[in-house]
Structure 1
Amino acid sequence: MSLIAARLNFVVPHYQLYLPSLLVDLTEKYVPLPAKRDRLSPAAQLTLFYLLQRRDHSRNPFEGVAASGLAHELGVSPMSVLRSFDELSTRDDVRQEKIGRERKLTFHAPAAKIFESFRSLTRSPVTQTYSVAYPIAQLGVISGEHALARYSSLVEPEGTTRAIYNVEWRKVRSEFIERSTDETTHRVEVWAYNPAPLAAGGIVDRLSLNAQFANDGDERVAMAANEILKEVKWF
């Protein structure tokens, strides 16, 4: 029989004090804070870029967004969004609040400051690139240097580049014939997160392109990747 079931007084140092005769039951619970990461997870980067580009930032603090609604918009699980909230709220200007059973995320600084605070933690969303025998205009969205050229003064290269979420690529990969880069100029970029919710006009978003190309070895490409941020209305 346990001490509690027997209603016997006991103390667990630094953790619990149980004195049923005095109606006392004190238990210390430690909830660890989310650890700061060297890089944002793909889900957190998707969440951040979506909120920065698809929400109104005319007011400060930015009006809170609910996890459940955001999960539906991004096409991910509510748990994925909640984990992203935990990652993003490690910054002082990003906070979570609980209203009833719902968790919301709010920005307490201008969007440009929020972006800069996370910029060093962003990563290229591209995990793999495949050269394919023919263009795949029906799949994914325009990406890579082709997308960068649509937003900047960079000359658009020959061929096509399309971005597709890794989950979707696994379903269709067997349908495409791979070629060496010497044989074709048509490419597929496999992304760690879904580019579709961020895309506009069938082209991947500016923030993801910046994360991909800002430190590119080709100076022209790197300059274009930073140039396109000037078109983001809050930058």
Structure 2
Amino acid sequence: MPVLRSEISLYLETTLGVEAHLKPASDLKVPHFIKETYKLLNLVLLVGSGVKQSKFLMVLLLPFDDEYPGVVTLGKHISQIQKFTDKVVVYVCPALSPPERRSLINSHINFIQPGYQLFIPELAMDLRESVRTRRNEGDVSALLPAAQAMLLARLYQGWDSNTVFPSNGLLGEFKYSRVTLAKVIDQLLKLGIVHPAQSLGFKNYYSFAAPPSDLFKKARHFMRSPVKRKVAIDRVLHAGNGVFLAGETALAKCTMLAGPSQPVFGMTKKQFDSMVEEKKFKLAHSVDETRAWVEIWAYRCLKERKDIADEASLLLSLEDNPDERVQQALDNLKENIPWLKSED
């Protein structure tokens, strides 16, 4: 089965946590028999960010059929290609046996088997070992907003012991980049929230390490309030289309708590900027102008109805509120979701 460009990019970005860009190497002048045997692609890995960002350039060889030509023949083909480029040349194949991989490594031939292993001495990396070491090193002080949102969304949906997810399947309805996904998976692996399940096809598969209650209790210490900022506005909004009830307003809808005199709404920074630009509301600069409050959240509403904050995020956003009535309402809120009670 031919290797797809998207599968290569996903594997590299998920495993390395860097951006990977692929495009046809149409400008590469190589012998005709090489072009008949392999599809040639230019690969650019963007390592780091800002002024410290560097590029690692490679040429990938994707065979038109999946039959492994053998290390001797492959070595000759790569030698031919290296006469026409100074980039690192890498063989890509979806089906390599362990002896074939060992043969390539012993012969110092670069290769990528998406979903299983890559070996590129120029990168000083055999991913199976270095990624495992890197994940065991370094501490997680707090979950990324993307990791927290994705984990909470999965907790609401639940799973059983046989459920496995491809790496991009963990995203669910979220639209995060593959680089962000790689960072999320790295955090969840370090915390023991997920673990590698199996490799099917070309994608890494993961399963959750315990039932929802146990995992929420384990991850709870690393979760933070999703509220980044709270601002006063000059009018009351309607929930829906990216705007949801939040704060004490949402808590009052879920419990017996009396709602605040000025309602609280939640939205992402992107939604907030869009509504300000469209003049849906103005920032209030005095008590007299204030009609409502907006909490700018690090992630979108997780509830299916999309018009009220989810219970776990609501708990995280209000846990430091000194009002005893609010704390009592939060205790009552936990009773609605079985795994939320696990922290007690």
TM-score (norm 1): 0.78
Query: Any residues of structure 2 matched to 1:117-136 within 5 Å, and which?
Result: 117-136=218-237
> Displacement of 1:181 after TM fit?
6.0
* Counterparts in 2 of 1:84 and 1:216: CA distance versus 1, 3 Å: same
Distance in 2 (alpha carbons) for counterparts of 1:92 and 1:74: 22
**1:144-196 Cα shifts (integer Å, max 9, x gaps):** 1100111122111123221111122222224221114622240111111122x
Task: Report the AA paired with residue 37 of structure 1.
Answer: V
Q: CA RMSD of the aligned region, Å?
A: 2.5
* 1:102 correspondence with 2:203: yes
Q: Secondary structure at the match of 2:335?
A: helix
Separation in structure 2 between the aligned mates of residue 118 and residue 212 of structure 1, nearest angstrom: 16
Q: What's 2:145 paired with?
A: 42
Q: What SS does structure 1 have at the residue aligned with 2:163?
A: strand
CA distance in 1, matches of 2:216, 2:162: 13
| Residue 222, structure 1, aligned to residue 327, structure 2 | yes
SS of the equivalent of 2:152 reads: helix
State whether structure 2 residue 202 is matched by structure 1 residue 74.
Answer: no
1:115 to 199, 202, 216: 216
Q: Bigger shift: 116-125 or 153-162?
A: 153-162
The equivalent position to 1:63 in structure 2, one of 153, 163, 171, is 163
Counterpart CA distance in 2 for 1:33 and 1:198 is 32
CA contact (8 A) 1:62 1:108 kept: no
Is the 1:62–1:107 Cα contact (8 Å) retained in structure 2? no
Q: 1:187 to 1:91 in 2, by over 3 A?
A: same
Worse overlay, 33-42 or 91-100: 91-100
Matched, 1:168 2:271: yes
**What stretches of structure 2 of length at least 5 have no aligned partner?**
1-78, 80-105, 110-120
Q: What SS does the corresponding residue of 2:173 show, helix, strand or coil?
A: helix
Provide the C-alpha distance between the structure 1 equivalents of 2:202 and 2:216, rounded to a whole number of angstroms.
Answer: 29
1:151 alignment partner in structure 2? 254
More off after superposition, 177-186 vs 35-44: 177-186
CA contact (8 A) 1:49 1:198 kept: no
Q: Secondary structure at the match of 1:115?
A: helix
Segments of 5+ residues of structure 1 without an aligned counterpart are 6-22
**Mapped partners of 1:25, 1:81: distance in 2:** 31
Identity, % of aligned pairs? Answer: 23
Q: Following the alignment from structure 2 to structure 1, what is the Cα–Cα distance between the partners of residues 207 and 331?
A: 26
Aligned partner of residue 74 in structure 1, secondary structure: coil
C-alpha spacing 1:209/1:68, structure 2 compared with 1 (3 Å): same
Whichever residue aligns with residue 158 of structure 2, its letter is: D
Matches of 1:232 and 1:70 in 2, distance apart?
21
Q: Distance in 2 between matches of 1:111 and 1:142?
A: 26
Count of aligned pairs between the two proteins: 210
Structure with the greater relative contact order (CA < 8 A, sep ≥ 6): 1 or 2? 1
Tell me: CA distance 1:62–1:180, structure 2 relative to 1, closer, same or farther (3 Å).
Answer: farther
Q: State the shift of 1:227 in Å.
A: 2.5
Q: Distance in 1 between matches of 2:325 and 2:135?
A: 41
Please say if residues 47 and 81 of structure 1, whose CA atoms lie closer than 8 Å, have aligned partners that are also in contact.
Answer: no
* Higher radius of gyration, 1 or 2: 2
The TM-score with structure 2 as length reference comes to: 0.55
| More deviation, 80-89/207-216 | 80-89
Residue 120 of structure 1 and its aligned partner are, at CA, apart by: 1.3
What amino acid is aligned across from residue 140 of structure 2 in structure 1? R
Write the letter of the residue equivalent to 1:204.
Answer: A
**AA aligned opposite 2:337:** V
Q: Provide Cα deviations, 1:85-133, integer angstroms capped at 9, x if missing partner.
A: 2111212352134432223332121211100111111111111111111
1:62, distance to aligned residue in structure 2 (A): 6.2
Distance apart, 1:24 and its partner CA: 5.5
Correspondence for 2:307? 202
The 8 Å contact of residues 249 and 260 in structure 2, kept in 1 or not, is answered as: yes
Q: Equivalent residue of 2:222, what SS?
A: coil
Stretch moving more, 36-45 or 81-90: 81-90
